[in-house]
Amino acid sequence: MRSSKTNANPSIFKRTGGILLHPISLPGHWGIGELGDQALRWIDFLKQSSCGLWQILPLGPTGYGDSPYQCFSSFAGNPNLISIELLYQENLLDQTDLKDAPNFSPDRVDFGRLIPWKNHLLNRAYQNFRQRHLSELQEKFETFCAQHTDWLDDFALFMTLKAAHKGRVWMEWDEPYRVRSPKALQAFLATHNEGVDAFRFQQFLFFRQWSEIRTKANEAGIRIVGDVPIFVAQDSCDVWCNPQLFKLNPQGYPRVVAGVPPDYFSPTGQRWGNPLYNWKAHRHTRFDWWKKRIRHALTQVDIIRIDHFRGFCACWEIPAHLPTAEKGRWVRSPGKSLLRLLTAELGGELPFIAEDLGVITPDVIELREAFQLPGMKVLQFAFDGDDPRNPFLPHNYVPLCVAYTGTHDNDTTFCWYASLDERVQEIARNYLPLIDQDPAWQLIRSAWASVAVFAIAPLQDFLRLGSEARLNFPGRVGQYWSWRATEDGLNGHLAEQIAKLNYQYNRHPYY
C-alpha cells in the first residue's frame, strides 16, 4: 500500500479533459449506438476536440429496465452494441436481412422494438457464419473461445438456459438447473449445443468490435474510462455460478439487498435490489473473483471508475422483504484487504476513480487517500447551501480528483439550473456571475479551470440540452437509458469550442 504523500503515477493521472457518453447514445441508423463507423467518427470528434478521455458506463448485457448497472454478467458484452454494418461488410448479413428494419427514432432507443429485431439479426449472422464456412473468421472465433473459456462457457450456458425458461430469473428455473446439477447441465448441453455456441459467437463479435474501437481511441491519444459497479445483478451469471459469494437463502434469493439510505436523489433512499457479498467467502479465496473481474475490465478500458466506492468500507444492508431503503444497517467491508491485493495484482498502481458521492464517512476518505485514488466532485452539488467550505466548490478541490458538471444520474445542467429556486440560483450567481447566460458552459468552464486532474462533462451539457436528454433518474425504471445524440450535433464548430477550452486550461490528450 502506498503512502498518501506520494504522487499519482503521471502515466495514469495527467491533467486532461473528456466527455461522458455511453455507446448506446452514439448516433446511427439502427436504433442504438453501435461499435462501427459511428463510434470511429466519435473518436475523430474527441480527437478534434483535444479530449484525452472518453468516459462510458458498464458495457455488459442489460436485463430488466435496460440499465447498464443491472447486467446478466460482469464479464460479457452487450450484443445490442454490435455493428450491423460491420456484419454486412463481413458477409455475415445480406441486404435482404436488413430490408424489414423498423423505422427507428434517431434520438431515442426503443428497446421494445430494438431487442427482438437485433436478436433475429444476430441469430441470422450466426447461421450464415456456420453455413458459409468463413475459415479465417472461424479460426479467430475458436481462439477467442479458448482465451475466454473461464467465463464465456458459463455465460453462454446461462443465457441459453434463460431462453429455455422463457426469460425467467434463474431462481425460478427447474431445480436441477437452478442448483447447477452437473448431470442436468451436461444433458442440456447435449441438446442445446448450437444455442450455446450462438451466444459465444455474439460475444466474439462484441469483443472483436470493441477491441478495434479501443485500439483506435488509444492511437488517437484517448483513454477510455470504464465503469465497474461494486455490485452485480441478482439475475446474473455471476450469482448463478457463485452463490457461495453472496448472502442468499437456500432458493437462491437474496436475504439482504444493496442500496443507500435517504439522500439527494430520494427521500426514501435507493433500494437497488442487488445481492450483497459474503465477504468471508471472498476472503477465503483471496478475492479471486474480484481479481478476475478487474483484470478482465482492464482488457476493455484504460481507467476504471468504481461505482459506489464507499461499499468497500461498508454496505447498506436492507432486509430483502422491505420495499424501500429507509430501514437498513451499515455492515463493514474488507476494502483495504481487497485493494491491497489488487495493487499487488496490477503491479503497484491502481487505475481507479473512486465514486465517493452520497453519505461519505471519514473511513471512506481514509481508504481512498491510502491508495491515492481520485474522488469525484460534481458541480451541480456545489450550491445547495451558502457555505464556502462546500467540498464541491472548485476552490476546495485538490489536484487528485475528477471534476464533473453532472453525472449520468443527474439532470442536464441546463434544466438543473432552471429548476433551482431563486435562493440557490442567487448563490450560484454569486460564484459564477455569468451562469444565467449559459449555465451548462459556465459549469464546464469552472470544472476545466479547476485544479482537478480530470475534468469531464456529459455530452448533453456540451450540447446545452434539456431534460429530454437526461439519461437516468435513480430509482425510476422504464423511461430512461434511451437518449441518443444526433449526427448534426457532433459538428466541427462544437469540436473547435471544446478544443479551445482544453487548450486554454492546459488539458491535453495522451499523445
**Beta strands 329-332 and 314-319, pairing class:** antiparallel
Cell 460475444 sits at which residue?
A: 203
Q: What is the rounded CA–CA span in Å between residue 481 and residue 162?
A: 23
The H or E element that residue 411 is part of is none
CB atoms within 10 A of CB 52: 23
Report which DSSP code applies to 82.
Answer: S
Q: Which residues pair with 19 in a beta bridge?
A: 54, 457
- Has 366 been annotated as catalytic? no
Q: Are the C-beta atoms of residues 257 and 318 closer than 8 Å to each other?
A: yes
Q: How far is CA 281 from the centre of its chain?
A: 26
Which region, left, alpha or beta, applies to residue 31 given φ > 0 means left and ψ of -120 to 50 means alpha? left
- For 181, the 3-state DSSP assignment is coil
Q: Are the C-beta atoms of residues 453 and 508 closer than 8 Å to each other?
A: no
Strand runs (DSSP E) across 261-364, as ranges? 270-275, 303-307, 314-319, 329-332, 352-354
Sequence-ordered list of residues with C-beta below 8 angstroms from that of 104, at least 6 positions apart, any chain = 29, 30, 31, 110, 113, 114
Cα–Cα distances in angstroms (integers) from residue 10 to residues 6, 14, 16, 351, in the given order: 12, 5, 11, 11
Q: Which of 227, 307, 356, 411 is catalytic?
A: 307
Pick from 372, 228, 230: which is nearest to 300 by CA? 228
Sheet holding 401-404, edge to edge: 352-354, 303-307, 223-229, 53-55, 16-20, 454-458, 401-404, 375-378
Sequence-ordered list of residues with C-beta below 8 angstroms from that of 433, at least 6 positions apart, any chain = none
CA quadruple 484, 486, 489, 492: dihedral positive or negative?
positive
- Has 409 been annotated as catalytic? yes
Grid cell locating 292: 478476475
Q: Which of 34, 317, 355, 461 is catalytic?
A: 355
Q: Are the C-beta atoms of residues 284 and 43 closer than 8 Å to each other?
A: no
Pick from 33, 13, 15, 35: which is nearest to 24 by CA? 33
CA torsion 407-409-411-413 (nearest 10°) is: -10
Q: What is the rounded CA–CA span in Å between residue 127 and residue 192?
A: 15
Pick from 237, 320, 226: which is nearest to 272 by CA? 320
**Residues taking part in catalysis:** 307, 355, 409
